């Protein structure tokens, strides 16, 4: 794999057609790993967003998609999944260049995304209502599941195709039409996906993509009365703004937000397995992952030995050029994020944490890299123990009792995921039930499947993606009450 000879020039995708939109302004995207421009996009305006919303509104109110059979929807989604697999190398290269993630990981993510489309396709034929026949001989109740309408989908830069694939196919499976606003840093694969959907047979206007910044494009999606549902993945701070804007029209809102996810390691755990899971959990995708295992809580009696082993293993993880097949940690997305990571490390130092590994930028000829970093002797009151860093930084906290571990684990505003490492199944189940998190892993970390719901509690979000109920997030429930036989007046 190599850098392209010139930047790829992209356009919005509205009504089945590529267009530059209402403005000649463009956004240039430089590769985080190489410092050269690899893509350019239209800087979308409010007018562009409203045009896409109007197109999706017409496609929902007058077009065929909400009225197609489950079998027809399934066929198009399955064809889309196969097209993603057919183009995994090209799509993976786009993501590698735009996001800075390692090329091998990027290709794997294309396969994961395709698997989600397969799963959503299967749900197309399982979406159904219910009947209630216990209302008496003269009455029948029906519960109908109907598509929610026009959906605004706002996606982040860390897993561009994977996260849009946790939203879009389920909305389409329900019969909705959509306007997608990808991150202005990583819009390439989402625009390619829209064209793959058209190739698979999706009617024009059902899936539209507008590039640009959150203000004005995302803001328009959240505020427009013609958008019935908005689904956002990103930071908790921006999620609050999306919810507030959506609240002005009381539209449905789904939010997948931040996390400060603990791995709780008891002395009886399989420490060989723990070392691998900890290193993977914190450094996967450069730590730019809402599910990152960014803090470990270690029982005091094994903490010193475990931290030494984790530090030794972390020092061997290859960091560097994302186009290198051997690299496992690529480049940081932008200057602002790198500054945030380094500021967090500096803050930890000032607060008395011990830097056991790394803690600085990685010298390179081009690109933006941070060393694998371990902060030991962190206490629960430190900012790095509570705040999401979104970088390759592991914080280590120590505990003596199960109750103390639980108090530390639940002591943040987040509740996305957690893991428990112990050979004592009773203890593992007690912790699983007491942890305030949407996902709890036992003796593993970051495992998942499209069949399993994903989402958070507390300020990690609202609603769930994936799993059998994911399609229900994009529906409304209608009750129909039917009288059988003549109506008998009872009031007059």
- Cα distances from 12 to residues 48, 187, 447, 483, in angstroms, run 9, 10, 35, 50
Length of the chain: 492
Tokens of 176: 């909705």
Catalytic residue list contains 178: no
Among candidate residues 290, 299, 388, 465, the one labeled active-site is 290
* Nearest one of 206, 171, 213, 207 to 192, comparing CA atoms: 207
Same domain? For 223 and 148 the reply is yes
Q: pLDDT tier at 420 (50, 70, 90 boundaries)?
A: very high
pTM score of the predicted model: 0.97
Look at residue 418 in the predicted model and tell me its pLDDT. 98
Q: pLDDT tier at 213 (50, 70, 90 boundaries)?
A: very high
Same domain? For 156 and 305 the reply is no
- Residue 390 maps to which CATH number? 3.40.309.10
Q: How big is the chain by its Cα radius of gyration, in Å?
A: 24
- pLDDT for 237-291, tens place per residue? 999 999 999 999 999 999 999 999 999 999 999 999 999 999 999 999 999 999 9
Residue 125 in contact with residue 71, Cβ under 8 Å? yes
Same domain? For 13 and 113 the reply is yes
- pLDDT for 151-168, tens place per residue? 999 999 999 999 999 999
Please determine, for residue 472, whether its predicted confidence score (pLDDT) is greater than 90: yes
What's the angle, vertex CA 307, arms to CA 303 and CA 308, rounded to 5?
A: 120
| Rounded Cα distance, 82 and 322, in Å | 26
Q: What share of the chain is helix, strand, coil (3-state, %, to 5)?
A: 40, 20, 40
Once rounded to an integer, what is the mean pLDDT over residues 363-381?
94
Same domain? For 374 and 335 the reply is yes
Same domain? For 320 and 350 the reply is yes
* pLDDT above 90 as % of the chain: 97
Look at residue 2 in the predicted model and tell me its pLDDT. 82
Q: pLDDT tier at 18 (50, 70, 90 boundaries)?
A: very high
Residue 217: DSSP 8-state = I
For 363, left (φ over 0), alpha (ψ -120 to 50), or beta? beta
Inside any domain, residue 311: yes
| Rounded Cα distance, 52 and 14, in Å | 6
Contacts of residue 215, defined as CB under 8 A and 6 or more positions apart, other chains included, come to none
For strands 393-399 and 295-299, give the pairing: parallel
* Nearest one of 230, 245, 247, 250 to 153, comparing CA atoms: 230
Q: How many domains are there within the chain?
A: 2
Once rounded to an integer, what is the mean pLDDT over residues 179-194?
98
Look at residue 366 in the predicted model and tell me its pLDDT. 87
Same domain? For 70 and 198 the reply is yes
Look at residue 154 in the predicted model and tell me its pLDDT. 98
- Residue 98 maps to which CATH number? 3.40.605.10
Task: Look at residue 161 and give its three-state secondary structure.
Answer: helix
Inside any domain, residue 451: no
Q: How many CB atoms lie within 10 A of CB 200?
A: 18
Helices 425-434 and 402-409, axial angle in degrees (round to 10): 30
Please determine, for residue 1, whether its predicted confidence score (pLDDT) is greater than 80: no
Same domain? For 123 and 238 the reply is yes
HEC string for 358-401: CCCECCCCCCCCECCEEEECCCCCCHHHHCCCCCCEEEEEEECC
Tokens of 414: 């987040």
Same domain? For 102 and 190 the reply is yes
Inside any domain, residue 450: no
Inside any domain, residue 16: yes
Look at residue 129 in the predicted model and tell me its pLDDT. 94
Inside any domain, residue 359: yes
Same domain? For 81 and 215 the reply is yes
Look at residue 363 in the predicted model and tell me its pLDDT. 84
**CA 58 to mean position of chain CA atoms:** 28
Segments forming the whole domain that contains residue 58: 8-257+460-478
How does the average pLDDT of the chain come out, rounded?
97
* Nearest one of 190, 29, 42, 40 to 99, comparing CA atoms: 29
Same domain? For 18 and 81 the reply is yes
- pLDDT for 32-71, tens place per residue? 999 999 999 999 999 999 999 999 999 999 999 999 999 9
Catalytic residue list contains 290: yes
Same domain? For 350 and 240 the reply is no
Please determine, for residue 437, whether its predicted confidence score (pLDDT) is greater than 80: yes
Look at residue 489 in the predicted model and tell me its pLDDT. 82
Q: pLDDT tier at 492 (50, 70, 90 boundaries)?
A: confident
Look at residue 64 in the predicted model and tell me its pLDDT. 98
Residue 306 in contact with residue 412, Cβ under 8 Å? no
Inside any domain, residue 350: yes
* Nearest one of 225, 68, 168 to 474, comparing CA atoms: 168
* Ordered DSSP codes for 37-78: EEEEEE---HHHHHHHHHHHHHHHHTSSGGGS-HHHHHHHHH
Among candidate residues 109, 256, 299, 388, the one labeled active-site is 256
Same domain? For 165 and 268 the reply is no
Look at residue 490 in the predicted model and tell me its pLDDT. 83
Look at residue 424 in the predicted model and tell me its pLDDT. 98
């Amino acid at each position: 794999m190599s850098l392209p000879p010139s930047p790829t020039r992209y356009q919005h995708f509205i009504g089945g057609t590529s267009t530059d939109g209402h403005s000649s302004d463009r956004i240039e995207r430089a590769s985080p790993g190489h410092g050269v421009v690899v893509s350019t996009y239209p800087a979308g305006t409010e007018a562009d967003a409203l045009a896409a919303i109007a197109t999706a509104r017409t496609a929902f109110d007058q077009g065929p998609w909400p009225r197609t059979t489950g079998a027809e929807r399934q066929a198009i989604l399955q064809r889309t999944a196969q097209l993603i697999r057919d183009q995994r190398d090209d799509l993976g290269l786009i993501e590698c260049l735009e996001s800075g993630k390692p090329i091998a990981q990027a290709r794997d993510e294309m396969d994961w995304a395709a698997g989600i489309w397969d799963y959503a396709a299967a749900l197309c034929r399982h979406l159904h209502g219910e009947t209630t026949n216990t209302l008496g001989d003269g009455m029948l109740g029906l519960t109908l599941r109907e598509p929610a309408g026009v959906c605004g989908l706002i996606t982040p830069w860390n897993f561009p195709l994977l996260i849009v694939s946790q939203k879009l196919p389920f909305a389409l499976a329900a019969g909705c039409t959509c306007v997608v606003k990808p991150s202005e840093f990583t819009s390439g694969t989402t625009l390619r996906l829209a064209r793959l959907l058209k190739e698979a047979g999706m009617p024009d206007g059902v899936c539209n993509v507008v590039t640009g910044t959150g203000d004005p494009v995302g803001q328009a999606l959240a505020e427009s009365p013609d958008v019935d549902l908005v689904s956002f993945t990103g930071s908790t701070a921006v999620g609050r703004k999306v919810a507030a804007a959506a609240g002005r029209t009381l539209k449905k809102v789904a939010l997948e937000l931040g996390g400060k996810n603990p791995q709780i390691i008891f002395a009886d755990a399989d420490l060989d397995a723990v070392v691998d899971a900890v290193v993977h959990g914190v450094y996967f995708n450069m730590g730019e992952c809402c599910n990152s295992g960014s803090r470990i809580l270690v029982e005091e009696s094994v903490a010193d030995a475990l931290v030494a082993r984790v530090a030794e293993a972390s020092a061997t993880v290859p960091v560097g050029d994302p186009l290198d097949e051997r690299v496992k940690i690529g480049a940081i997305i932008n200057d602002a994020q790198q500054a945030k990571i380094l500021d967090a490390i500096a803050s930890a130092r000032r607060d008395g944490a011990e830097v056991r590994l790394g803690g600085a930028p990685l010298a390179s000829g081009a690109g933006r890299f941070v060393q694998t970093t371990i902060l030991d002797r962190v206490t629960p009151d430190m900012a790095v123990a509570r705040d999401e860093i979104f970088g390759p930084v592991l914080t280590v906290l120590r505990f003596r009792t199960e109750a103390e571990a639980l108090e530390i684990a639940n002591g943040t505003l987040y509740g996305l995921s957690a893991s428990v490492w112990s050979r004592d199944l009773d203890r593992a189940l007690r912790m699983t039930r007491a942890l305030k998190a949407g996902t709890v892993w036992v003796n593993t970390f970051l495992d998942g499947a499209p069949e399993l719901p994903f989402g958070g509690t507390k300020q990690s979000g609202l609603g769930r993606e994936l799993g059998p109920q994911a399609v229900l997030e994009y529906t409304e429930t209608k009750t129909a009450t039917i009288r059988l036989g003549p109506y008998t007046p009872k009031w007059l």
